[in-house]
Structure 1
Amino acid sequence: MSYFGKNIRKIRNVKKLSQQAFAELFELKRGTLGAYEEERSEPRIETIIKIANHFSITIDDLLTKELTVNKLLKFKDDLALQGSFDKEKFARIPCITPKTETDYVLYFDKPHFIEDLPKLHLPLNREKKYRGYLISNLEMTNNDKGYFPKDVIIGEKIETEDYSKIENSSLILLVTTHKILLRKFYQTSEKITLQATNKNIDDLEIKLNDIKEMWCVKYCFLKHLPENQNTELEQKLNFLEQEFMKLRENFK
């Protein structure tokens, strides 16, 4: 019996590497690594040698023994400190990246997939559900304002029964049957409209049954330093935007 699959999964967990990150490290496909871990496929000898050398583990230990966490960390105190720090004080927030975005639409409800996503460790309420999202486009920008590529937003989970309580113009991270969208949210009794800040992008209308997950954006980390903004003016513009949406609905 080979312990290879079980051992590489333990290595990933100890080193805090997602399946995608581990696979890229050794020039493997994510699906191939998954097959190794689930013992549906055997690795080539070159792959075994690369992994053993990289982590300073003998090939014999990698294949024939179940590796212990202490052996991988070299000493126990480091594990105790790391585990206590993350667990007791910080929420571990899975973060969707451009590389995992397509897979997320397919596997958003698979616990193993979510566990393998990169994690953000933040001092937030650990009782709530959060999701991070690394922005990769200019859809929520307007000239030099808004959210830019490499900015990170943090969304709080909205349960299905609470969709009707979302305030219009809220910034929402939406997982649909086909893609992930970061948009301003507007809702009437008949439909849901999603609006980008970038005026070159048309509004989208979606049906409730197309929604798989919804997260209300609560926090953001900006790669650039924002200029001082007139908060009162921003609030007035948001109000006018909402009134315009209502008028447009009345005239249809």
Structure 2
Amino acid sequence: MSNFGKNIRKIRNVKKLSQQAFAELFELKRGTLGAYEEGRSEPKLETIIKIANYFSISIDDLLTTELTVNKLLKFKGDLTLHGINQKDSFPKIPCITSNNEVDYIKFHDKPHFIEDLPVIQVPITDTKRYRGYIISNLEMTNHDKGLLPKDMVLGEFVDHEDYHKIENGELVLIVTSSQLVLRKFFLSGNTVTLRAANRNIDDLYLNLSEIKELWLIKFTFAKKALESNVEIEEKLAFLEQEFMKLKKKL
């Protein structure tokens, strides 16, 4: 991690951020940030991940490469001298969870309800409407493969007149007056067949007129994979610390 301090100092200079402003972005004390920059202290893994994700820089580059200003400018188009807040440039996507799913079915068309939903921010640059959904069942799981509980999907809103453009077999999130369903979509005439990956679950049949909202799934985020990546990063961080200790002794 010998380059971490140098790199965050260069990032601050590129972004025109004071130590205090940079520290507040990541809920750090100014003195703690100063210790990082001067190499007197090593950051927690959580802090490293936050900074890397915020500026769209790989953890490996942030820790092991001495970044130049030119490299920093190439990482993200708006990582410029103008001090644009990268976090604010990402859309805030309302998210459906097991805690609000029942209420969402009732109030999905109420703007005030949608505004109060928890939100996630991902680097999507288009202006389309998206909805996040945290999976809470095993309907799209088949023999430990597929989507598991706590995985997340992001769906793009589809207008009623465009339902016929959806290809059979696409994964959709559908809202009716009584339920919210995440399954594969098949359309024949005015009848929609919603099919689970779990073969023990029967197909669900709907008329097009029963659909209140339809979100075509565009992105999936597997919690298991994310946990595995964090575990790998923790091991790499530990090995890096041990290597630096050994290097100092030599």
TM-score range, shorter chain: 0.5 to 0.7
- Structure-2 residue corresponding to 1:24: none
Displacement, 1:225?
2.6
Q: Which residue of 1 aligns with 2:210?
A: 210
Partner residue, 2:178: 178
The alpha-carbon deviation at position 125 of structure 1 amounts to: 2.6
Tell me how far apart the structure 1 counterparts of residues 123 and 203 of structure 2 sit (CA, whole Å).
Answer: 35
- Distance in 1 between the 2:190 and 2:136 partners? 31
Corresponding residue for 1:101?
A: 101
Moved more, 170-179 or 187-196: 187-196
Gaps of 5+ in 2: 1-83, 227-250
**Contact 2:172 2:215 (8 Å CA) reproduced:** yes
Deviations 1:87-129 (A, max 9, x none): 3x20110000001000001110111111111101011034110
CA RMSD of aligned residues (A): 1.5
Deviations 1:61-81 (A, max 9, x none): xxxxxxxxxxxxxxxxxxxxx
Counterpart CA distance in 1 for 2:154 and 2:113 is: 19
1:144-179 CA distance string (max 9 Å, x none): 100000000000010111001110000000011101
SS of aligned partner of 1:194 = strand
Q: What SS does the aligned partner of 1:168 have?
A: coil
Please tell me the residue identity of whatever aligns with 1:210: E
Q: Secondary structure of the equivalent of 1:224? A: helix
Using the alignment, how far apart are the partners of 1:156 and 1:95 within structure 2? 12
Q: TM-score by structure 1 length?
A: 0.55
1:129 matches 2:129 = yes
Alignment of structure 1 residues 1-252 onto 2, 5 Å: 84-87=85-88, 89-225=89-225
TM-score using structure 2 length: 0.55
Could you list the structure 1 runs, at least 4 aligned residues long, displaced by more than 3 angstroms after superposition.
83-87
Q: 1:178-214, CA deviations, whole angstroms, 9 ceiling, x for partnerless residues?
A: 0100000001124110000000100011011110000
Q: Within 1, Cα distance between the matches of 2:192 and 2:95?
A: 25
SS in 1 for 2:212: strand
Note if contact 2:190-2:207 (Cα within 8 Å) is conserved in structure 1: no
Gaps of at least 5 residues in structure 1 are: 1-82, 227-252
Cα separation, 1, equivalents of 2:197 and 2:203: 10
Q: Which moved more, 1:173-182 or 1:184-193?
A: 184-193
1:86 and 1:92 in contact (8 A); partners too: no
Q: What is the CA deviation profile of residues 12-50 of structure 1, one whole-angstrom value per residue up to 9, with x for unaligned ones?
A: xxxxxxxxxxxxxxxxxxxxxxxxxxxxxxxxxxxxxxx
Report the secondary structure of 2:172's partner residue: strand
- % identical equivalent positions: 51
**CA contact under 8 A between 2:190 and 2:208: conserved in structure 1?**
no
**Rounded Cα–Cα distance in structure 1 between residues aligned with 2:129 and 2:166:** 17
Query: In structure 1, how many angstroms separate the alpha carbons of the residues matched to 2:177 and 2:190?
Result: 20
Aligned length: 143
Question: SS of the residue aligned with 1:153?
Answer: strand
C-alpha displacement of 1:84: 4.3
